[in-house]
Structure 1
Amino acid sequence: MARVAVVSGGTRGIGAAISKALHTAGYRVAATYVGNEQAASAFTAESGIPAYRWDVGDPEACSTGLARVAEDLGPIEVLVNNAGITRDSMFHRMTFDQWSSVMRADLDSLFCMTRPVIEGMRTRGFGRIINISSINGQKGQVGQVNYSAAKAGAIGFTKALAQENAPKGITVNCICPGYIDTDMVAAVPPETLAKIVAGIPVGRLGKAEEVAEAVLYLASEKAGFITGSVLTINGAQYLANG
């Protein structure tokens, strides 16, 4: 029977590419979203992948939503924690709401989404958890103290959880994309985007599908000896040891 995969924030951008790649590879995929119902409906109509709506920063909503997915599709064996938001501001002008909303969506969500599925994975002796961090979680970024802190937290979360669950056949890995050609990056002012691309040695933005292919490998049984790893996909814009 096909394995069940859940992709948070899975109806747009990088998340949509991940959902589609897993679906094409034969997984039974559920994509979550919280805000854009029109985009989610269009995604499902195009891909045939069901979309489930809940707030990934709400532990009760996650528990209920993941139970519904398991009832509809089967036990969840692959979890891709992709959902995230930005609320950019220089720190000396940042409000606590800007700080806490990013922490809730980008870091608290890792607990809220992973906690309800981890015991089942441990019992079954198999699991793949893939956390999507960011280049800015590795190097920091002006105007993104909140986002950089949350995404750096995702790296620590990955490394600790990997060690705890390695004996149970569960791998936990992290991907740090650089600047990827998505709607979010397209909203950057053209002059700023040109400077960003100029700083990428390969000379272009990344593609969401390139991130999705990495997720696909890490989700596979072939990747059973890869855990606690941090994979950079940034065109050599920033080279990190972890």
Structure 2
Amino acid sequence: MHLKRYDKFYSRRKFLSEAALGTLSAGVLMPMWDAIAATGDVSKAYPDELLSIEMYSKGRIKPGDRIDASNVEHVKDLLDPIRYEQVSKQGRVLSVAPTTTDIMRLSPWQYVEATLANQGKARFDPRGNVVTADGQPWLGGNPFPDAKSGLELMATQTLSWGRHDASFYAIKTYEVDPAGKVQYQYTGGWAELMTVARLTMDPKPYWPEHKDKLRFQSVFFVSPLSVAAPRF
């Protein structure tokens, strides 16, 4: 008989233990960013139950399967409430892909490398902006990869939405009523251009003329005609 070192609930116990102490961090078996710095892979930071949905669900769901109302209960704890509601009651179906552990496939590699190179350099200035130790705008990458507070977590998310120096997102949205009937739909675009923390576009790491800003950002609508003009 083979005894597993980390059972199904090890990760939950560790999470609750750290939450009680106020020491939450990414990674279970070791700090996630230490694993990334060593190999670029997060496998050594997590037990098998967090890397394999098949193991987590005791074989009920595996890569290549589809999650629908008939089996969503097996992974309910992995879904946010609205996604669970959509799958269990509104007919949404999720396709299960193999776990991606190579961090370079999850974010731009320049962003990941900048996170490692600039680790420990981020601070908050008196106005709440993320800056370097000498008060300059942030250089690039995740400023708080091992965030210790909600404010640090928020900063890592909002400082660079797309992790690229420039990004454009096409938008096609359907608004539905409680019965699931489409009541309104529109199309548009979301564009953003970083002025600081630039990693690939010259000038780097700052656009000197706009060093006092974080990014230029614009949202516009192209249909229907009733909203084709508005933009911000």
TM-score by structure 1 length?
0.24
> Which structure dedicates a bigger proportion of its chain to helix?
1
Q: Which has the higher contact order (CA 8 A, sep 6+)?
A: 1
From the CA coordinates, give the structure whose radius of gyration is larger. Answer: 2
TM-score by structure 2 length?
0.25
